[in-house]
């Protein structure tokens, strides 16, 4: 089954804020809804705010993210899904789509040599 990265975007600097009870309920139900659509969350990670980020360019390390943005990556999870359409339907259910957004990208599999 193909795997997809679902990148979760949040308004910059993606500081951890208090989640509403509605958002917490949606997050609690999310894994079951993913399975109902034929997918499976393989792993997932929330990131610390961009104010704690370091970026590397050449031999320089700088504070903060590399680019200025209104929205930044706040987390990512890997999803097994039968196809891209199902992966998108699963991503649309995520509560992050209300204030930031999500991006779905199939994981690259190198060709067998």
- Tokens, residue 46: 């929330």
Does a structural domain hold residue 113?
A: no
| pLDDT tens-digit map of 56-69 | 778 878 776 666 67
Predicted structure pTM score:
0.80
Domain range enclosing 49:
3-106
Dump the DSSP string for the chain. Answer: --EEEEEEEEETT----PPPHHHHHHHHHHHHHHHHTT-EEEEEEE---GGG-EEEETTEEEES-SS--SEEEEEEEEEE-SSHHHHHHHHHTSGGGGTSEEEEEEPP-PPP-
Q: How far apart are CA 33 and CA 81, in angstroms?
A: 13
> Which of the two residues, 22 and 51, has the higher pLDDT score?
22
Q: How many domains does the chain have?
A: 1
Does a structural domain hold residue 52?
A: yes
CATH number reported for the structural domain that contains residue 58 in this entry: 3.30.70.1060
**Within 13 Å, how many C-alpha atoms sit on residue 16's CB side?**
6
> Which of the two residues, 53 and 7, has the higher pLDDT score?
7
pLDDT grade, residue 46 (50/70/90)?
confident
């Amino acid at each position: 089954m193909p795997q997809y990265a679902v990148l979760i975007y949040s308004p910059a600097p993606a500081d951890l804020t208090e989640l509403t009870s509605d958002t917490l309920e949606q997050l609690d139900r999310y894994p079951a809804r993913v399975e109902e659509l034929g997918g499976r969350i393989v792993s997932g990670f929330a990131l610390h705010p961009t104010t704690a980020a370091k970026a590397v360019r050449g031999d320089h390390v700088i504070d903060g993210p590399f680019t200025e943005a209104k929205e930044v990556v706040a987390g990512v999870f890997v999803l097994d899904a039968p196809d891209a359409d199902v992966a998108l339907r699963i991503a649309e259910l995520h509560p992050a789509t209300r204030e930031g957004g999500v991006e779905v990208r199939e994981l690259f599999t190198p060709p067998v040599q």
